[in-house]
Structure 1
Amino acid sequence: MVVLNKIYTRTGDGGDTALGNGTRVAKHALRVTAYGTVDETNSVVGLARLHASGDMDDQLAMIQNDLFDLGADLCRPEMAKDQEAGYPVLRMSDGQVDRLEREIDAMNGNLTPLKSFVLPGGSALAAHLHQCRTVSRRAERLVVELATMEEVNQAAVKYLNRLSDWFFVASRMANDNGKADVLWVPGANR
């Protein structure tokens, strides 16, 4: 259980921070930037939820919880030492990826295939979901870059890849099942 009774600690005043395993690193370290961008994704999901209801809101709530799991996973390097930790280390799982895939398939089943790219917009919820999509794509790029230098849980990479797809399909659902999508017209303003 997490207990947060003092919010500031002054330990980061010199420009470093602690990872989940206690190692201190620069606040601009790629791992910190990656899980910080996952946190940013969670924040924009919170904004999207202001416009969501029913199943969409429930699914976004699960995604927010998953994003906290993902941040916990990324802030704890050295996966090989998980067994030595003495307590379970939280890692993303393929089950979380599978759930996103099932939800994408269910939502996509209600949509007509696209014949053009979609511009971000339409309803307020769709616009926010597009912002979620782009921020999660940035988080994915950072995590993939981190994985070229350090060990990263592959389920975390897969989750972020599916998540941006989830946001795209959900944005179409939020636009009256795609009927209110704003379509790109190539060269329209020449």
Structure 2
Amino acid sequence: MQSPLLTTERLILRSLALEDAPHVLRIRSDDRVNKYLDRPKASSIEDALVFIRKIQAADEGIYWAISLKDNNTLIGTACFWNIVIEKKSGEIGYELHPDYQGKGIMQEAITAVIKYGFETAGFNIITALPSPDNEKSVRLLERNNFVRDINFEYISKEESDNQVGYILKKIPGQ
């Protein structure tokens, strides 16, 4: 599925391409990135290509490659997945290579992604399931007005597993 092009002051969020394979491998093989994610570590360009092809063939989510405006190199990704049309909800996910962390890049990217989710995709609820140990991710969500789903109103206990459920509700009239 082609992801809609989003732009911010410094970033381009675009569809993932086969040419991104070396950079996907760089992120998905980095222990610092994988520390909080429940997925197999990529170990080859073929692993990256298999992942990209899987994303390109999928039609149940929206997946963006994040790059700087002055350089098309993938530095991170953002996505909506676990989309439930009946509930007008989607789960946000994101990752950023550690060389680019701490520069406000993911803040800028998820601001655009959240805006797209509410204004274009028609979501009323955006969920997130970060690892409770991933303090940077939890802070990012809280900075963007996500709140814990402590009563498991939107994210079931089974769904959350070893993660913490966060939700962001669309403000009526916006």
Same fold, TM exceeding 0.5? no
TM-score, length of structure 1 as denominator length: 0.27
More strand by percentage: 2
* TM-score (structure 2 length as normaliser): 0.29
Structure showing greater radius of gyration is 1
- The one of the two structures with greater contact order (alpha-carbon pairs below 8 A, sep at least 6) is 1
